Amino acid sequence: MIDTDIDMFYIIPPHGEIPLYILEDCIMTRLNYLKLLHDGSANEFDGKFEYLLENSVHDKIGHFVLRLLASISSDLCIYWISKESLLFKHRLDNISPRQLHKLLKQIMWKLQLFKDKKNVIDKTLIELCKFYSQLLVFKHLRSNCENCNEFQYKVRFEIVPDLVKERDLILNNGDVITYCSNWKKVLQSLFSSYIISEMSTIKKQAEHIIKHDPRFYVLNQKIQSYLFNKVTPHGKVTTENIETEKQKFPLCMQHLHSVLKKRHRLSHYARLYYSLFLKEIGMTLEDSIIFWREEYSKPHTCTSVCSHNWQSNEKKFIYSIRHMYGLEGSRKNYKTPDCNLICSGISGAAYEGGCPFKDFDKSALGNLLRASLTEDDMEKFINNTSVKNPEVLCTAFLKFVRKEDVNNAVVRSPVQYYRRMTD
């Protein structure tokens, strides 16, 4: 019989009953600890450690309920998965050789016994744990090998995106060549991929539970409010209100929106910059997919910018959007480029972006200004503005549109402009 006291991969959910107030306490305790761990202040945690003891019922409940809730919320998923992965790494850094050996054995045992249909991540975990459990390999792993490549193992690149980011690892025919010195990174990357895969599997079931069980519905609302009530204080841009909110966008983003609506396509960097801008001012992952699907499903009216369509490239588009939201690839929290980068960045005939105050001729800038100003106001703005610095001009335009002084600070990013417009 295999000892089942190491369950860092959370393969088997807990069973039984628990009072709702304790369940809530488990979750809030976990979220508080994860935040402190992420901030490097775990030693300041003064909550209930018994709710975080590995393999305890409370630890499992906290993880699995958050997994359930995160499967239907892109915001919670982005917030939670990176911190849960960090907890796994923290535990792995402090694991004993005996516990590590049990962990490897139990991952194999549980996946083989409890999962009838095994995907590529499950199969990879089983085979990798078998490899790491070999006597010579295991002894070598526990010898604190650093910068060592004595033992190698191939892993498909798409299931270890964190490792692909590591430029010193070799890619060969779609495989990442991992070394024994990277064994912790490999397990951590597979842990994140495994959890994300499991969330995808339970998404429909989770939606039904949260919609029809008032206890989970209220719990979900409490967590969303607790974590995100201060994340987007300047408004939430949605597919429903974007045509109204666009009037508060800086001219560079108003222009990209206008081009998109006219052509139903944007070039690569224009689409990237506009997507990141919408994400950062409050558009959810779900709305972002709907927004871009609506445009890219329409026939395009351009010849050289982008001829892709949603119907033929849906998986590619969704992957790209999820990547920008930190759910694929390196799982970074990508930010909108600031004014300096936009002004000094991409140029060329096919690129329709850029800073209107720097890159547009008088006619093109005038057409863009007319969308926000009357002819009289436009003339006043042009006549009263002698400075040629793009950031200063953009700030002056902001003050002119708002018809009030917004303090002496200069606008240095599209997101900063929008937030000042919505203050």
**What's the rounded Cα separation, in Å, for the pair 236 and 229?**
11
pLDDT at 401: 84
Mean pLDDT (whole number) for 324-344 = 82
Q: Which residue has the higher pLDDT, 125 or 405?
A: 125
pLDDT at 66: 96
pLDDT at 184: 92
Mean pLDDT (whole number) for 351-374 = 85
Residue 148 pLDDT > 50, yes or no?
yes
Mean pLDDT of the chain: 86
Residue 90 pLDDT > 90, yes or no?
yes
Lowest mean pLDDT among 65-79, 141-155, 254-268, 299-313: 299-313
Please provide the size of the chain in residues: 423
- pLDDT bracket for residue 248 (50, 70, 90): very high
In 221-259, which positions are buried (b, 16+ CB within 10 angstroms) versus exposed (e)?
Answer: eebeeebeeeebeeeebbbeeeeebbebbbbbbbbbbeb
Residue 213 pLDDT > 90, yes or no?
no
pLDDT in tens, 26-75: 999 999 999 999 999 999 999 999 999 988 999 999 999 999 999 988 88
Residue 249 pLDDT > 80, yes or no?
yes
Q: Which residue has the higher pLDDT, 221 or 409?
A: 221
Mean pLDDT (whole number) for 291-320 = 80
Residue 169 pLDDT > 80, yes or no?
no
pLDDT at 3: 43
Residue 176 pLDDT > 90, yes or no?
no
Q: Which residue has the higher pLDDT, 232 or 288?
A: 288
pLDDT at 52: 94
Residue 231 pLDDT > 50, yes or no?
no
Q: Which residue has the higher pLDDT, 294 or 4?
A: 294
pLDDT at 155: 92
- pLDDT bracket for residue 224 (50, 70, 90): confident
Residue 292 pLDDT > 90, yes or no?
yes
pLDDT in tens, 1-31: 334 457 789 999 998 899 988 999 999 999 9
pLDDT at 243: 93
Of 107, 113, 157, the closest CA to residue 133 belongs to 107
Residues 6+ apart with CB under 8 A from 138: 101, 104, 132
Residue pair 75/284 in contact (Cβ under 8 Å)? The answer is yes
* Tokens representing residue 205 in the block: 């079931």
Q: Which residue has the higher pLDDT, 219 or 129?
A: 129
CB-neighbour burial class of residue 303 (10 A; exposed 0-12, middle 13-18, buried 19+): exposed
pLDDT at 408: 64
- pLDDT bracket for residue 233 (50, 70, 90): very low
**What's the rounded Cα separation, in Å, for the pair 150 and 147?**
10
